[in-house]
Amino acid sequence: MKKIIILTLFALLSIGSVIAEEGQTANSSDVTVAETAASSVATEADLNAEHLPPMMEMFKMLWKSTGVYGFSSPDIMWPKGWGELIMIGVGLLLLYLAIVKGFEPLLLIPISFGCIFANVPLAGMNDEGGILYYIYNSGIKTGVFPLLIFMGVGAMTDFGPMIANPITIMLGAAAQLGIFITVIGALFLSKYIPGINFSLADASSIGIIGGADGPTAIYVTTKLSPRLLGSIAVAAYSYMAMVPLIQPPIMKLCSTPAERLIKMEQLRYVGRLEKIMLPLVVMLLCIFFLPSAAPLMGFFMFGNLLRESGIVNRLSDTAQNALMNIVVMFLGLGVGAKLSAKTFLNMETLGILVLGVTAFGIGTAGGVLMARVMNLFMKNKINPLIGSAGVSAVPMAARVSQNEGAKADPQNFLLMHAMGPNVAGVIGSAVAAGVLLSVFGKM
């Protein structure tokens, strides 16, 4: 028994000594590896230190990465550099007009920030991979954002005044006159003004400004002339915001004091069935006779049917509010992305601004004069002031008609009468857009 115990102890001592020796070997190996790694790190650090640029060179690299260098360096060719700084000033001006003057703030504020972002030097926000690049290509170039806005506008629109007095559709149609005359004007400028070279597609995109419908102008321009999108969008929405300034002088010029005193009969009641049938009938007519306008007209009437059906209030409310607000923000940023110095600072932009206000003025005059012509054949006279609402700046143009009528006679209420041609103008501008896309979209 003693021999067994002694042998067992001896075996345990032998095993312990072996384990101890292995531990010492492992420790020495770890030390060797650590020393080797430290030596390697030190060697790499020495090599990196040898290849670091001089301190002045590092400061030069830092300087060239600043916005100040991007704006002022003589190595940067126009329109970059100072041109980008000017465009940032344009963005700040649009921001001022939106916040202080109240010019279409819901869209001009996003557009102004998009303009500023697009002209930040060296940031690449508008280049492939930048946030503005994806916003523009996914929402505007594809036509998604304008169509979603048209759906929201449809959900906000009451066609009752137009249904109650369908003759006012003629006023909405006449107000589109400015679109087609401006197409001719754009071609005239291209022929006689140096630095301006508008194609038929460009001229069509510019002419649609006369419809005073921002989403339609953006949709047509993305299809026909994407390079002019920034200038056309800014012109369209700026002139829409200036409706109270542009229209009154033209309305007075094209009507007499006696005509401005005309009082119109109260509109009849329009039932739910009529309001439901209208978007369906208009959509079917569009499908059969002008399919190119189906995207715009279809989304517009779809939104209106959501409203008038009365059984999908949640969808109607979403289209009018939450969805509309989200899309407007991204639409504005995407449009602002096209306001780069390269595309905006040229003679063509000046031509677009002049043609835009011309188109708007001709459209206003066309509606007023059409009302005067119709009065020659009608027993129940139309106040020509509501003809100016035929441009589709809803509801601002109708409010201008009301205000000008109240100046002539404070007891004359024209607002609901003016809403007829106003909403008819939205349909008219969509039809005009379809015609232009059909004629020039495949050229």
pLDDT in tens, the chain (443 residues): 444 444 444 444 444 444 444 444 444 444 344 444 444 444 544 445 556 667 777 777 787 778 777 777 777 777 777 888 999 999 999 899 889 988 778 888 998 999 999 998 888 888 888 999 999 999 988 889 999 999 999 999 999 999 999 999 999 999 898 898 889 989 988 888 888 889 989 999 998 888 878 889 999 999 999 888 888 888 887 777 778 888 999 999 999 999 999 999 888 999 999 999 999 999 999 999 999 999 999 999 999 999 999 999 999 999 999 999 999 999 999 888 888 888 787 888 888 988 888 888 999 999 999 999 999 998 889 999 999 999 888 888 899 999 999 999 999 999 999 999 999 999 999 999 999 998 887 66
Asked if residue 379 belongs to a domain, the reply is yes
Asked if residue 311 belongs to a domain, the reply is yes
Asked if residue 11 belongs to a domain, the reply is no
In sequence order, the 6+-apart residues with CB closer than 8 A to the CB of 87 are 115, 118, 119, 339, 340, 341, 344, 345
CA-wise closest residue to 236 among 420, 429, 401: 429
Asked if residue 58 belongs to a domain, the reply is no
CA-CA distances (angstroms) from residue 331 to 59, 104, 240, 297, 403?
40, 14, 17, 19, 31
Asked if residue 229 belongs to a domain, the reply is yes
Per-residue confidence (pLDDT) for residue 324, from 0 to 100:
94
Residue 59 carries which side chain, given as an amino acid letter?
Answer: F
Is the CB of residue 264 less than 8 Å from the CB of residue 280?
Answer: no
Asked if residue 68 belongs to a domain, the reply is no
Tell me whether residue 270 is exposed, middle or buried, using C-beta atoms within 10 angstroms of its C-beta: 0 to 12, 13 to 18, 19 or more: middle
Per-residue confidence (pLDDT) for residue 126, from 0 to 100:
85
Per-residue confidence (pLDDT) for residue 129, from 0 to 100:
86
Per-residue confidence (pLDDT) for residue 50, from 0 to 100:
53
Asked if residue 47 belongs to a domain, the reply is no
Looking at residue 138, the DSSP 8-state letter turns out to be: I
Per-residue confidence (pLDDT) for residue 13, from 0 to 100:
40
Is the CB of residue 310 less than 8 Å from the CB of residue 194?
Answer: no
- Give the count of domains, the chain: 1
Residue 148 domain boundaries = 89-440
Instruction: Kindly report, residue by residue over 98-121, the tens digit of the pLDDT.
Output: 899 887 788 889 989 999 999 988
Is the CB of residue 369 less than 8 Å from the CB of residue 387?
Answer: yes
Asked if residue 76 belongs to a domain, the reply is no
Per the structure block, which two tokens stand in for 329? 């923000």
CA-wise closest residue to 285 among 434, 393, 143: 434
Half-sphere exposure of 420 (CA within 13 A, CB side): 27
